[in-house]
């Protein structure tokens, strides 16, 4: 059961990574035309987005750690009251991290949209 959860978590993370890579490939095509107009601007926005993605990945890892800790608490030999307290703490941490992940996803999405709009405007001006 624990192995299944870990396997599912790894598969989910791998799918998310592949989706990000596919998005990045499409964005690289867009960036080639944008780089000709403003080379540094595109690089900086890419770095910001990658930094946010890295932060999001760190939050995802922290979320999976809280799940593992909660499972370890259930398997431990503490009193039921202590188990419940520790479980509540882990659930609170996970809830906080999930909110943080959601905010980061929204920021990444906004930055990408902003960049796409900027690229569209440049194409319109050039075309």
Check: CB of residue 49 under 8 Å from CB of residue 108: yes
**What tens digit of pLDDT does each residue of 42-98 get?**
788 888 899 999 999 999 999 999 999 988 888 888 898 998 999 999 999 999 999
Q: Give the integer Cα–Cα distance in Å for 66 and 113.
A: 32
Model pLDDT for residues 94-113, shown as the tens digit of each residue = 999 999 999 999 999 999 99
**pLDDT band at residue 34 under the 50/70/90 scheme:** low
Q: End-to-end CA distance of the chain: give it in Å, rounded.
A: 57
3-state secondary structure of 46: helix
Please, what's the b/e burial string for 79-92 (b: 16 or more CB within 10 A of its CB; e: otherwise)? eeeebeebeeebee
Residue 101's domain spans which residues? 2-126
Contact 33, 119 (CB under 8 A): yes
Q: How much is the pLDDT for 53? A: 94
Question: How many C-alpha atoms does 8 have within 13 Å on its Cβ side?
Answer: 7
Number of structural domains found in the chain: 1
pLDDT: is 33 or 85 the higher one? 85
């Amino acid at each position: 059961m624990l192995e299944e959860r870990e396997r599912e978590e790894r598969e989910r993370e791998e799918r998310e990574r592949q989706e990000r890579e596919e998005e990045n490939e499409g964005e690289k095509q867009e960036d080639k035309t944008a780089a000709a107009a403003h080379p540094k601007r595109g690089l900086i926005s890419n770095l910001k987005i990658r930094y946010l993605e890295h932060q999001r990945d760190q939050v995802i890892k922290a979320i999976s750690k809280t799940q593992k800790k909660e499972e370890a608490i259930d398997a431990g030999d503490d009193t039921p009251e202590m188990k419940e307290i520790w479980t509540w703490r882990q659930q609170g941490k996970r809830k906080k991290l999930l909110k943080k992940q959601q905010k980061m996803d929204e920021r990444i999405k906004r930055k990408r949209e902003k960049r796409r709009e900027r690229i569209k405007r440049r194409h319109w001006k050039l075309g």
